[in-house]
Amino acid sequence: MTTTRTAVRRIRLLVQLVVAVVVLTWVPTIAQAAFSDAARADLSVGTYSIPAPGGVTGTFNCTSTKLSMTVTLTDFGAVDRATGYTVTLTAPNGQVTTNAVPASPRSTTITRASTTVGTYTLRVRANVGTWTGQNLERVLTCP
């Protein structure tokens, strides 16, 4: 009787082992079948042209010799999606001073000296990440 019990136990173990192998073989196949169809999304690509700020508010002062100008900007038009702004002041002799301005508040003071008398050029440009926009440009002349 002991050999019969041992034989029955072995047969049960073999049947359980065969069932386990079959289940483990078919389960991944069933899972793969359930996810075989992928959803498709339409690809939409667009461009964004970064505009110049809409306007600028501030003051400027010159030294008595008209060889240096200081511009104080209190605000300028916000540009949608701008992460910051670049303000440059170019002297009559071509030398440039540049200020990086955060997206908010939009204010700064910039000074540039020159070796010649003439007009200064103020430029304000929006930045969206590493991309740069169009310049808002104002020509300033010392009174």
Could you read off the pLDDT of 2-53 as tens digits, one per residue? 778 787 788 888 888 777 777 777 666 655 555 555 667 777 777 889 999 9
Specify the CATH architecture of the domain 56-141.
Answer: Sandwich (2.60)
Residue 84, exposed/middle/buried by CB under 10 A (0-12, 13-18, 19+)?
A: middle
What does the DSSP 8-state code read for residue 115?
Answer: S
pTM here is 0.68
Kindly tell me if the per-residue pLDDT of 124 is higher than 70. Answer: yes
pLDDT at 20 (0 to 100): 74
Domain residues of the chain, as ranges? Answer: 1-37, 56-141
pLDDT at 126 (0 to 100): 97
Amino acid letter for position 30: I
Kindly tell me if the per-residue pLDDT of 1 is higher than 70. Answer: no
Element (H, E) at 102: strand 96-102
Per-residue pLDDT tens over the stretch 64-120 = 999 999 999 999 999 999 999 999 999 999 999 999 999 999 999 999 999 999 999
- Is the CB of residue 85 less than 8 Å from the CB of residue 51? no
- Is the CB of residue 88 less than 8 Å from the CB of residue 100? no
- State both tokens at 44: 């939409």
How far, in Å, CA of 109 to CA of 101, rounded? 10
pLDDT at 29 (0 to 100): 62
